[in-house]
Structure 1
Amino acid sequence: MHTQNIYKNYEPAVTAPDKDYKCGYWFIFCSNKLLIVNNENEAKIPQYNELSELSQVLTSPLYLGRFYGLPAYCIGLADSTQAPSGMSFVDLRSTFGVLDEASFLLASKAVQVVAWEQTHRFCGKCGSLTQDLSGERAKVCPKCGFISYPRICPAVITAVFKENKILLAHARSFKGDIHSLIAGFVEAGETLEEAVEREIMEEISIKVKNIKYWGSQPWPYPNSLMLGFTAEYEGGEINVDGVEISHAHWYDVENLPELPPKVSIARKIIDWYTMEHSSS
């Protein structure tokens, strides 16, 4: 999978080297929207010296590490927070291709860290107030000792091929007429390959074979890890479940329907397959 490595310009860490957080890059979220500095043709992540209008609420941030050599922090603010002049809170997906890729990748991590912090202030076992676990991205309950780590939900997404055609489906949750690959969460007790087989059978009633890993992508909506696969058609007739999937069909690369945005691993797999099988 062709994408930039998140660690190219980023050194992860949990504990800040000192308590002076009034510097560096700040990944700030309000209602899961990211604060960006608006420029003419691009956007950027603000630095602390640009955030004087928010200085009173930028307390107790979460340290991410060093980004482009500077400290990086993330924080979630109240829903009523107003963006400073020259900045705006925007949907994270809309920043793909607007932010530089390194910033987009770290923002995708930051939004998950913030969401985890907001939803794990109390112990999921006994209800007591949790504390940060020193040296780790974790919460520990001082009463019962239960430890919570950021939750990541693995999901498989698969391109199925049959006689130089690719299977694309329209899910009821999709906007417009977008068609994409079959996807679903991995269930307890199954392998990734078994999850691929089960999801495809559940949603469109066909069997597949020669399942191969293609690549992965963090998908912070809200906390998934997408694991991409390819597979070959083995047997059966397409019969959509009518619950998640409303339509599915085999498509030639020269006649594809409306596709998902380029930010998604689904589109990356489809584009890869298209390049491999285009007549031109």
Structure 2
Amino acid sequence: MIKHSLNVEAQSYGCWFVVNRGRIWLNKAGQVPVGEYRELTLSAEPEQVCLLGQDNDVNAYLLINHDQITDDDHWVSPRELLSAGESIFELAARAVQVALFLQTHRFCGQCGSAMNLVNWELAMLCNKC
């Protein structure tokens, strides 16, 4: 199950799927970064952090980044990770899907009010409706 709204510590270790506008950031080696959170060179703090699952007993996290992309060559579509292995590709696709869900469900389709994440699952709730 996907867990959202997490706080990550500098020493948190994981596989980091940084998503911005449907694209995933790769490190200088052209791979999804694996290591401690403090080792990431993010241009801004992530808007949202979610635990997606695991890859080889390593937690896989989604970091939603809405900062301006300046290093365009480090950002790829999930499709470009097909050759990285089935597990990485599945987590990359899930990361982009969750990021898109959170982006497109910010406002209520009925009344237009801002929606809130519920704490028991990955779902949005309109408090006005």
The alpha carbon displacement at 1:121 in A equals: 0.8
Quick one: which amino acid aligns to residue 86 of structure 2? E
Q: Deviations over 1:28-78 (max 9, x none)?
A: 122312111243xxx421132431x31632243223233332332213323
Q: Is the Cα contact below 8 Å between 1:35 and 1:83 reproduced in 2?
A: no
- Go from structure 1 to structure 2 and tell me whether the alpha carbon gap of 1:83 and 1:113 turns closer, same or farther (over 3 Å shift): same
1:32 aligns to what?
Answer: 22
- Go from structure 1 to structure 2 and tell me whether the alpha carbon gap of 1:60 and 1:92 turns closer, same or farther (over 3 Å shift): closer
1:65 to 40, 50, 53: 53
- Go from structure 1 to structure 2 and tell me whether the alpha carbon gap of 1:115 and 1:56 turns closer, same or farther (over 3 Å shift): same
1:78 to 63, 66, 82: 66
The alpha carbon displacement at 1:142 in A equals: 1.1
Query: Going by fraction, where is helix more abundant, 1 or 2?
Result: 2
Q: Is the Cα contact below 8 Å between 1:95 and 1:104 reproduced in 2?
A: yes
Q: Is the Cα contact below 8 Å between 1:36 and 1:89 reproduced in 2?
A: yes
1:109 to 94, 118, 123: 94
Quick one: which amino acid aligns to residue 14 of structure 1? K
The runs of 5 or more residues in structure 2 that have no matched partner are: none
The alpha carbon displacement at 1:110 in A equals: 0.9
CA distance in 2, matches of 1:60, 1:90: 20
- Go from structure 1 to structure 2 and tell me whether the alpha carbon gap of 1:15 and 1:89 turns closer, same or farther (over 3 Å shift): closer
2:79 aligns to what?
Answer: 93
2:31 aligns to what?
Answer: 44
| SS, match of residue 54 in structure 1 | coil
Larger radius of gyration: 1
- Go from structure 1 to structure 2 and tell me whether the alpha carbon gap of 1:55 and 1:108 turns closer, same or farther (over 3 Å shift): same
Q: Is the Cα contact below 8 Å between 1:38 and 1:44 reproduced in 2?
A: yes
Query: Going by fraction, where is strand more abundant, 1 or 2?
Result: 1
- Go from structure 1 to structure 2 and tell me whether the alpha carbon gap of 1:124 and 1:33 turns closer, same or farther (over 3 Å shift): same
1:131 aligns to what?
Answer: 116
The runs of 5 or more residues in structure 1 that have no matched partner are: 1-11, 145-280
Q: Is the Cα contact below 8 Å between 1:25 and 1:72 reproduced in 2?
A: yes
CA distance in 2, matches of 1:103, 1:30: 17
- Go from structure 1 to structure 2 and tell me whether the alpha carbon gap of 1:20 and 1:31 turns closer, same or farther (over 3 Å shift): closer
Q: Is the Cα contact below 8 Å between 1:13 and 1:66 reproduced in 2?
A: no
Q: TM-score, normalised by structure 2?
A: 0.78
> What does 1:1-280 align with in structure 2 at a 5 Å threshold?
12-15=1-4, 19-22=7-10, 23=12, 24-39=14-29, 43-47=30-34, 48-51=37-40, 53-54=41-42, 56-78=44-66, 80-83=68-71, 88-97=74-83, 99-144=84-129
Q: Is the Cα contact below 8 Å between 1:31 and 1:79 reproduced in 2?
A: no
The alpha carbon displacement at 1:140 in A equals: 0.7
Cα RMSD over matched residues?
2.6
The alpha carbon displacement at 1:107 in A equals: 0.4
- Go from structure 1 to structure 2 and tell me whether the alpha carbon gap of 1:19 and 1:30 turns closer, same or farther (over 3 Å shift): closer
Q: Percent identity?
A: 31
